[in-house]
Amino acid sequence: PKKAKRRQAAGDSGSSNVFSMFEQSQIQEYKEAFTIIDQNRDGIISKDDLRDVLASMGQLNVKNEELEAMIKEASGPINFTVFLTMFGEKLKGADPEDVILTAFKVLDPEATGSIKKEFLEELLTTQCD
């Protein structure tokens, strides 16, 4: 048991490099999201936690298979470090926030906070391959 604990601790410290990928404010936002999802406050996101948080958002008929697939995206229990690592992996290659905001400003020239459906449909049918 002691060896297993040491190995797990070593694994955690090795993956802690993920914290350098994010600014402190981003880490705090992810921590808040993690806390919301971790419904039973045990420090691990479980299938039941996912079911409860999805139900609170109106997703009442999520199948067990779907929840299991979400949990299996991680190689083991989803603690905060694993949660952050998963987001880091998903965001690799994503455009920086300022690039995305600039793109939305182009799509929302009147700065209304939304994109008109007709405008988006026109762009997608005339500008995209």
Divide the 129 residues of the chain into consecutive groups of 10 and give the mean pLDDT of each group: 42 61 93 96 97 94 96 96 92 79 86 88 79
Residue 14 confidence (pLDDT) = 43
Report the pLDDT value the prediction gives residue 13, as an integer from 0 to 100.
41
Confidence (pLDDT) at 36: 96
User: What are φ and ψ of residue 112, in 5° steps?
Assistant: -85, -15
Domains and CATH numbers, the chain: 2-93 (1.10.238.10), 95-129 (no CATH)
* H-type alpha helices, 57-116: 64-72, 80-91, 97-107
Q: What is the pLDDT of residue 31?
A: 97
Task: Quote the CA–CA distance of 59 and 80 in Å, as a whole number.
Answer: 23
Give pLDDT, residue 11.
40
Contact between 116 and 107 under an 8 Å Cβ cutoff? The reply is: no
- Measure Cα distances from 26 to 63, 87, 89, 101 in Å: 31, 11, 15, 16
